[in-house]
Amino acid sequence: MSDSHGEEPLLKYKVIMINIEINDLVKRLEEEFDEIEPGTLKAETSFKDLEEWSSMQALVVIALVDEHYDVPLTGEDLMQCETVQDIYDKIKSK
Amino acid sequence: MDVFKIAYYLPEKILTNEDLAKEFPAWKAYDIEQKTGIYKRHCAAYEEIASDCATKAAKKLFAEYNIDEKSVDFLIFVTQSQDHASPTTACLIQNRLNLKPQIGAFDINLGCTGFVYALSVAKGLLATNDLNNVLILTSETLTKYIHPRDKSARTIFGDAGAAVLVSKNHQIGRFEYGTDGSGSEVMIKRNGAFRFPFTKVRGVDYDDGYGSITNDDFFRMKGQDVFVFAAKTAPKLVKNILLKNEMELEDIDLFIFHQANGFLLEHLRKKIKIPKEKFFVYMREVGNTVSSTIPIAMKEAIRAGRIQKGTKVLIAAFGVGLSWGGTIIEI
């Protein structure tokens, strides 16, 4: 594909937008975990491996998603997620 | 107009966050309070059941306000922890409280929303039967049927009994109700009644995915799903209560929600945009006492001077059923 194709700028734009949104989610989540040093959480981080991951921390994530994305993430949804990317995909699929 | 007469009873035994942290070392006492807003819960003694707590609350109410027990015209007992499968526990309480025999008495089998529903029944009875006083008692002893290793539920729930005397001159608004039985699995004590009697089925321990162990013989809840349910339901509930009573959010002086857990309450407060000073929370000393949370919070709000004559209070409850409801009372 070359620049003359109409699709590519749109695709590029989409990729940029998704990156912005994921970074936004990463930043918001990072603030909610005491254990994470600022700037170290990545989309591919498995948050379930964190020491402070607990039922209460699950509520924190659900509350955050409800507040900022207005999406009801259920307990079952969260069970299926391992990484921040998974949470992002869940939000997008709702 | 009278201010509502309310009393409550808390069992003697106390479970603090330090006690819980000792049993579940992954949790720090300080964190439990930070996350849940609860510092301690009361636990009924082995021999002490819900009707005992309710009766003690009623006796406190009679003594505190110098009420003649013969002035009670109707008794409603809100519980899911009855003395026997039959007869109705309210009938036994009539006798134990020495109430006159010319009264009606029955139980309302509801959890978190029980007080709101009892209040709506009381309002109807007072309006249509020329009665003067309806006594509402609420009590659960949930700590008896939470699995000892279910750290999530043990952190949240405490036992209590409450007594509220509802009288003809109280101003109680229109009610909003809601029910969704498809969500019964979200909070349930599945075994031990008629569908799954203990003689036929016994629960098998499992991990809820977050290190809390429970089984179907105990009251258990899917905490995340309770949260999602409340976050979805409570804003609409408040909106509809206001609509039914032709009021705006700004017209309400104080909001008292079912005291489910501190984190959830704060989330709901922000979501519904209720100013902090108009949102009453009383959880630190008692935890979530199921059907008694609203009466206890009302009593504490009166004690703290947050409720005076003419204060408009919006009460809203949501929980096991699933069930929700609320109204506006002018105290």
Question: In degrees to the nearest 10, what's the CA dihedral of A53, A55, A59, A61?
Answer: 20
CA angle B215, B216, B221 (to 5 degrees): 80
pLDDT in tens, A19-60: 668 888 888 888 888 778 888 888 888 888 888 888 888 999
User: What is the tens place of the pLDDT at every residue in B118-158?
Assistant: 999 999 999 988 899 999 999 999 999 999 999 999 999 99
In this complex, is the C-beta atom of B35 within 8 Å of any C-beta atom belonging to chain A? yes
Average pLDDT, chain B: 96
What would the two tokens of residue B165 be?
Answer: 């005397």
Which amino acid is present at B197?
Answer: P
Evaluate if residue B28 carries a pLDDT over 70.
Answer: yes
- Token duo for residue B188: 């349930």
3-state helix, strand and coil shares in percent for chain B, rounded to the nearest 5: 40, 25, 40
ipTM over 0.85: no
**Model pLDDT, residue B101:** 98
Beta bridge partners of B323: B179, B319
E strand segments, chain B: 5-9, 13-16, 40-43, 74-78, 104-108, 133-140, 160-167, 171-172, 176-179, 187-189, 206-207, 213-214, 219-221, 254-257, 279-280, 312-319, 323-330
The conformational region for residue A73 under phi > 0 = left, psi -120 to 50 = alpha, else beta, is: beta
| B154: closest CA of chain A, how far (Å) | 13
Q: What is the mean pLDDT of residues B72-77?
A: 98
Residues of chain A with C-beta less than 8 angstroms from the C-beta of B231? 62-63, 66, 72
| Average pLDDT of the segment spanning A2-12 | 62
| Whether the Cβ atoms of residue B115 and residue B294 lie closer than 8 Å to each other | yes
pTM above 0.90, yes or no: yes
pLDDT at residue A4 is higher than 70: no
Query: What number of CA atoms fall less than 13 Å from residue B62's CA on the CB side?
Result: 16
| % chain A with pLDDT above 70 | 85
pLDDT at residue B1, as a whole number: 46
Residue B242: pLDDT above 70? Answer: yes
Q: Are B241 and B314 in contact (CB under 8 A)?
A: yes
Angle, CA of B255, B287 and B177, to the nearest 5°: 45
Task: Give all domains of chain B, ordered by start, each with its CATH number.
Answer: 5-170 (3.40.47.10), 176-330 (3.40.47.10)
What average pLDDT does this structure show over B100-125? 98
State the smallest CA–CA distance between residue B115 and chain A in angstroms.
27
DSSP A76: H
Q: Which chain B residues are Cβ-neighbours of A59 within 8 angstroms?
A: 223-224, 227, 263-264
Nearest by CB: B222 against A60, A73, A75: A75
Q: CATH number of the domain at A7-93, out of 3.40.50.720, 1.10.1200.10, 3.30.1050.10, 1.10.8.870?
A: 1.10.1200.10
Per DSSP, helices labelled H in A1-94 are 7-32, 55-69, 75-79, 84-93
Band of pLDDT at residue A1, cut at 50, 70 and 90: very low
What digits encode the pLDDT tens for the residues B34-58?
A: 989 999 999 999 999 999 999 999 9
Residue range B274-309, pLDDT digits in tens? 999 999 999 999 999 999 999 999 999 999 999 988
* Distance between B290 CA and the closest CA of chain A, angstroms: 20
